[in-house]
């Protein structure tokens, strides 16, 4: 699946209220990655301490951050999950997406994608605008001579690509500076809306992993809760 690469931003610490929430009331909006679940459960059993609270929408108890921690606890039979309740409609919680980056020769990436999906060559600004308007799945960056490749289809296109290539997920388009049109391709895609996230969670039509990226302007504290206290 690949790893996440964050840009370095120093944020102030804000102590948040942590509440114990019945795990049966919590709804994910993204699918999980089995390898991460395995690693988390192994670590949790070894340490016996739960360190990082889950971020939840106050109104619906939809998971905003912590899908693998919730699923790991669920598989262990936990009844409760430590969570921080946030006003998802408020300004503090910002919603973006992760941009997949494939560190393979650009032409190889383009050739594979063209063989698996309907594409068209479009001027880069228009392609990005069409993607933002949900008229395509993604477009491929960097652009070549002002043109880029617009990719049509459904979410399954991205899953096919993930099966073929190792992907790194980056949080900003600043990483384009590392791509030269020969090595590496960034897949520019639209971020979901908050309304779409809630609808997906409540309907059970989960997004693929690494679709949403929730951002807070502050960091919050770690906790130390004995695993036995969650059962």
Residue 182's Cα: distance from chain center in Å?
26
**Residue 124 vs residues 86, 129, 131, 142, 165: alpha-carbon distances, Å:** 37, 9, 11, 9, 24
Structure letter (DSSP) for residue 73? H
Higher pLDDT, 48 or 8: 48
Phi-psi region of 145 (alpha: psi -120 to 50; beta: other; left: phi over 0): left
- Please, which pLDDT band fits residue 7 given cuts at 50, 70 and 90? low
Query: Which backbone phi and psi does 69 adopt, to 5 degrees?
Result: -65, -40
Q: Which residue out of 30, 71, 108, 159 is catalytically annotated?
A: 30
Token output for 144:
């070549």
Query: Catalytic annotation on 34?
Result: no
pLDDT tens-digit map of 20-63: 999 999 999 999 989 889 999 999 999 999 999 999 999 999 99
- Please, which pLDDT band fits residue 3 given cuts at 50, 70 and 90? low
pLDDT tens-digit map of 171-183: 999 888 888 888 8
Phi-psi region of 171 (alpha: psi -120 to 50; beta: other; left: phi over 0): alpha
* Inter-residue contact 20 to 82 (CB < 8 Å): yes
Q: Which domains does the chain have, with CATH numbers?
A: 4-93+217-230 (3.90.1530.10), 95-188 (no CATH)
Hey, CA dihedral for 128, 134, 135, 140, is it positive or negative? positive
Hey, CA dihedral for 119, 123, 126, 132, is it positive or negative? positive
pLDDT tens-digit map of 62-95: 999 999 999 999 999 999 999 999 999 988 899 9
């Amino acid at each position: 699946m690949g790893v996440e690469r964050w840009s370095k931003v120093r944020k102030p610490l804000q102590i948040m209220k942590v509440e114990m929430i019945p795990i049966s009331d919590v709804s994910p909006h993204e699918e999980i990655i089995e390898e991460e679940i395995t690693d988390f459960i192994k670590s949790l059993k070894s340490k016996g301490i739960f360190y990082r609270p889950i971020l939840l929408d106050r109104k619906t108890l939809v998971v905003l951050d912590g899908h693998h921690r919730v699923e790991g606890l669920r598989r262990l039979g936990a009844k409760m999950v430590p969570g921080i309740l946030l006003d998802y409609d408020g300004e503090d919680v910002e919603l973006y997406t992760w941009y997949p980056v494939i560190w393979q020769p650009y032409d190889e990436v383009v050739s594979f994608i063209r063989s698996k999906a309907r594409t068209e060559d479009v001027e880069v600004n228009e392609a990005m605008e069409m993607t933002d308007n949900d008229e395509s799945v993604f477009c491929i960056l960097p652009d070549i001579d002002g043109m880029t490749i617009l990719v049509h289809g459904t979410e399954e296109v991205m899953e096919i690509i993930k099966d073929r290539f190792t992907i790194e997920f980056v949080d900003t388009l600043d990483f384009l500076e590392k791509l030269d049109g020969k090595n590496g391709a960034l897949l520019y895609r639209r971020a979901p809306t908050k309304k779409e996230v809630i609808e997906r969670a409540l309907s059970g039509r989960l997004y693929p992993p690494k679709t949403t990226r929730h951002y807070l302007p502050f960091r919050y504290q770690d906790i130390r809760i004995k695993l036995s206290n969650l059962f």
